[in-house]
Amino acid sequence: MKYFTKDWYDEMQVSGFLALHESEEDWEEELEYYRKEGKDLRELNLRNLDDMRGSLLRYLPESFHPYIHDGTLVREYPTPELRLLVNRWERDYERRMEELSDRYMQHFESIKAELPQAAAELVENGLHDAVVLSVERPSEDQLVLTLDCSGGFHYFTDVRFTFEGVTYSNIPADFIGGWWLYDEIYKTEDGFELHTLFDTPMTETVIRARDVKIEPLKLPLMRRLKNLYRRR
């Protein structure tokens, strides 16, 4: 992947981690809420900091490192100096991400008319949060992915994607349960190359194929009822 890579995703998690309280009153209210629940917000934040430490040290400038090492990045209400550092980094991050998104959209628009129609539809409709139900290889040049798209943004049901004329795929057969995060597509001489970033496990996959067939499937009754209840 050239755009929406694992590094790109990890830095996005750092940006989300840096969300600061708007006021000291908000900070105190959250401390009190957790205290009433029998929990220590500062300790919880420090555990989360330990989980994120590697990414924070990698993506944030050295000026952040003392706040990371002593825990004040999450343990106390941010000082004016820390807030200034965060705001400055976030502005730069948002600018870089907007530029990246614009470059990819320019790339996609430049090849869209040359892609198989269904391949363009696949990426335009979006499969974010779709879950892999099965991976099948009926033949050497065919790959079938069945995804649960009920929690996504377009199909809202199970969908079977049959890739035809497959010349390369690194999706393992036991990839059940993988979460589709982000994708990007490229034109090849006789079709397209689809790159996808999955979570659980975090994996970058590639499918090189001539075409793809998209078949929405009817959900089993119990899952239809569950999804209907969830949306109310």
Residue 48: which residues within 8 A CB-CB, separation 6 or more?
A: 17, 74
For residue 226, the model assigns a pLDDT of 57
Could you say which residues of the chain have pLDDT below 50? 221-222, 225, 228, 231-232
Per-residue pLDDT at 220: 60
Quick one: how far is CA 142 from the chain centroid?
27
The pLDDT value given to residue 222:
47
pTM value is 0.88
pLDDT score recorded for residue 177: 94
Q: Give the start-to-end residue ranges of the domains of the chain.
A: 6-110, 115-231
